[in-house]
């Protein structure tokens, strides 16, 4: 599965939006509400934008272990009150 198929799958299945910048970096964008309680990020993701998971109250865990994160912007998990587990790379 190519990265564009993964972006579409995550947008339609989980409610989150990824974008690729001009340098090819994969970014989890803000402005969406994740509908998955145990969310696994797309492998190779480089950045999580500001407030990307704002108000994702259903999310209990997030797996970032296959990412290549270089930054997580402020307010990423602002109101994720049920988040109890984060797996980092």
Chain segment 44-79, per-residue pLDDT in tens: 999 999 888 887 888 999 999 999 999 999 888 888
User: Average pLDDT, stretch 2-20?
Assistant: 86
Please name the residues in contact with 51: beta carbons below 8 A apart, sequence gap of 6 or more: 30, 31, 73, 74, 75, 76, 78
| Statement: residue 25 has pLDDT above 90 | yes
Place of tokens 């108000």: 55
Q: Tell me the average pLDDT of the chain.
A: 89
């Amino acid at each position: 599965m190519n990265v564009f198929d993964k972006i579409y799958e995550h947008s339609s299945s989980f409610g989150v939006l990824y974008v690729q910048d001009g340098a090819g970096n994969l970014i989890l964008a803000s402005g969406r509400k994740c509908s998955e309680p145990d969310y696994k990020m797309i492998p190779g993701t480089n950045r999580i934008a500001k407030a990307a998971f704002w108000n994702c109250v259903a999310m209990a865990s997030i797996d970032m272990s296959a990412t290549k994160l270089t930054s997580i912007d402020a307010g990423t998990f602002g109101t994720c009150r049920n988040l109890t587990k984060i797996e980092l790379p």
